[in-house]
């Protein structure tokens, strides 16, 4: 059985095995509600979100946040440290300049260049703003939402299934699915690259609609043979999502971090080469 709803800027679908319709509806309602709450708290587009509240804040302000936001910020800080800054959630100002995010008219001018410079997480789901920052969690929150949806399904008694949020996906239990990766140069061509079971994956790829700036979603210094797409396989979808950006920017230098998270990557390049890390 399958249901899908538009959240996180994409279509989130839930497939489950081995339950009756009533259990499926109840479990998927819970999973979609969790995803909706994450979307509301962490969307830079939403003026009422935690991210926009932090963008409005001044240095020294202390703000209450949703527990989910604090959890994702903690993950983002960890990946920033582990990747030597390749993963950087303080990229919203650059994405606004590239017209990939809306300009927040109500925000303070950003000053922090890294998340560690911008915030200090406090007990009881609070944050202290150290320096004003525009924070975008799009590089990890979608994967986190997939993990959260899987958690809700399992709490509701679902033993096997799949959650897919626009290519960020996680299979659990006995559910198996084939992962296809599109060639950005030929959108109708999707190549089967892996069989997924009890594992998550995320793909970051060229924009199909902006050939002049195909890697505009990646903030950082790119090398010569930049990827067309990066797919990361990991136990959690949050880790897979975050690590795609690190592999884009670090390439082979990301291998140790991938191994630390029990992850591996498939990289496709414009020159036709493909390799695994």
Round to whole Å and give the CA distance between 260 and 84: 14
Give long-range contacts, CB 8 A cutoff, 24+ apart: 74-79: 74/121, 75/140, 75/144, 75/238, 75/242, 76/115, 76/137, 76/140, 76/242, 77/115, 77/116, 77/121, 79/140, 79/242, 79/243, 79/246
Return the pLDDT at 128.
Answer: 97
Predicted confidence (pLDDT) per residue in 178-190, tens digit = 988 877 677 677 7
Residues 82 and 202 in one domain: no
> Is residue 51 domain-resident?
no
Asked if the structure places residue 49 within a domain, the reply is: no
Q: Which of 166, 185, 217 is the last residue of a domain?
A: 166
Domain end call among 129, 149, 184: 129
253 lies in a domain? yes
**92 neighbors 43 (Cβ within 8 angstroms):** no
Same domain, residue pair 40 and 142:
yes
Average pLDDT per block of 10 residues along the chain, 277 residues long? 91 93 95 96 93 94 97 97 94 86 86 94 96 92 97 95 94 91 74 90 74 57 71 97 92 94 91 81
Do residues 205 and 247 both lie within one domain? yes
> What is residue 169's predicted lDDT score, i.e. its pLDDT?
94
Give CA angle at 83 (104, 233), nearest 5°. Answer: 95
Count CB-CB contacts under 10 A for residue 202.
29
pTM of the predicted structure, to 2 decimals: 0.91
pLDDT in tens, 3-47: 999 998 899 999 998 899 999 999 999 999 999 999 999 999 899
Q: Give the span between the Cα atoms of 11 and 174, in whole angstroms.
A: 23
| pLDDT number for residue 211 | 46
Considering the domain architecture, whether residues 124 and 255 belong to the same structural domain is answered as no
- Number of domains into which the chain is organized: 3
Is there a contact between 216 and 260 (Cβ–Cβ < 8 Å)? no
Residue 23 dihedral angles phi and psi, to the nearest 5°:
-65, -40
Q: What does the pLDDT read at residue 273?
A: 78
Based on the domain organization, do 196 and 63 belong to the same domain?
A: no
122 and 206 housed in the same domain: no
| Residue 23 and residue 143 in one domain | yes
Domain boundary among 65, 100, 129: 129
Token digits for 251?
A: 């390439």
- Mean pLDDT estimate for the chain: 89
Q: The domain containing residue 3 runs over which residues?
A: 1-44+138-166
Asked whether residue 50 is domain-assigned, the answer is no
171 occurs within a structural domain = no
């Amino acid at each position: 059985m399958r249901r899908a709803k538009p959240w996180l800027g994409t279509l989130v679908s839930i497939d489950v095995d081995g339950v009756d319709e009533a259990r499926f509806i109840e479990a998927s309602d819970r999973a979609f509600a969790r995803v909706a709450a994450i979307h509301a708290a962490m969307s830079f587009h939403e003026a009422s979100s935690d991210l926009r509240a932090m963008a409005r804040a001044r240095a020294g302000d202390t703000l209450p946040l949703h527990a989910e936001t604090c959890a994702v910020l903690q993950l983002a800080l960890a990946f920033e440290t582990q990747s030597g800054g390749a993963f950087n959630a303080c990229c919203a100002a650059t994405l606004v300049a590239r017209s990939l995010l809306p300009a927040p008219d109500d925000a303070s001018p950003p000053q922090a260049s890294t998340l560690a410079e911008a915030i200090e997480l406090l007990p009881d789901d609070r944050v202290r703003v150290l320096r004003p920052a525009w924070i975008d969690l799009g590089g990890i929150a979608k994967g986190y939402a997939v993990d959260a949806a899987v958690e809700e399904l399992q709490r509701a008694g679902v033993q096997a299934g799949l959650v897919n949020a626009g290519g960020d996906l996680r299979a659990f239990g006995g559910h198996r699915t084939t992962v296809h990766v599109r060639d950005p140069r030929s959108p109708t061509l999707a190549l089967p690259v892996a069989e997924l079971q009890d594992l998550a994956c995320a793909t970051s790829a060229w924009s199909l609609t902006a050939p002049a700036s195909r890697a505009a979603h990646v903030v950082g210094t790119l090398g010569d043979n930049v990827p067309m797409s990066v797919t990361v396989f990991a136990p959690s979808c949050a880790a897979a999502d975050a690590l795609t950006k690190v592999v884009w920017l670090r390439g082979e230098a990301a291998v140790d971090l991938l191994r630390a998270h029990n992850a591996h990557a498939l990289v496709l390049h414009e020159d036709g080469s493909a390799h695994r890390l």
